[in-house]
Copies of this chain bind each other. A is one copy, B any other.
Amino acid sequence: SRLEGSIKKTVSENLVVIYSKTWCSYASEVKSLFKRLGVQPLVIELDELGAQGPQLQKMLGRLTGQHTVPNVFVGGRHIGGCTDTLKLYRKGELAALLSEASAK
């Protein structure tokens, strides 16, 4: 579908993509984590897209198995939500993913 295609294009063309909601503190945490790492993520605020927001969230759920926000992609790869991202960061794996993806 067009929606699925646009998501795949977005996550493949941007080092870090965060599907987010403006009011959500978990989303704020991942946004500031990447900023601290010197990365400017592409942030898509699902609550600012009118009717398209819920549609996007539903399609993301279908594509990734994750129906919640924040929904985080690095180098085109789905890495998960806030907890997953922080876990990778603490293990040192996030930095590795970022450098590997930015080298491509």
Could you say which interface size class chain A belongs to? under 10
A83 to chain B, nearest CB (A): 8
Copy count, this protein chain: 2
Q: Does A16 contact B (CB under 8 A)?
A: no
Which label, helix, strand, loop or mixed, suits the secondary structure of the A interface?
Answer: helix
Enumerate chain A interface residues (CB-CB to B < 8 A): 24-26, 82
A-B contact pairs, 6 of them (CB 8 A): A24-B24, A24-B25, A25-B25, A25-B26, A25-B82, A26-B26
A69 to chain B, nearest CB (A): 9
* A26 / chain B contacts, CB cutoff of 8 Å: 25-26
A32 to chain B, nearest CB (A): 13
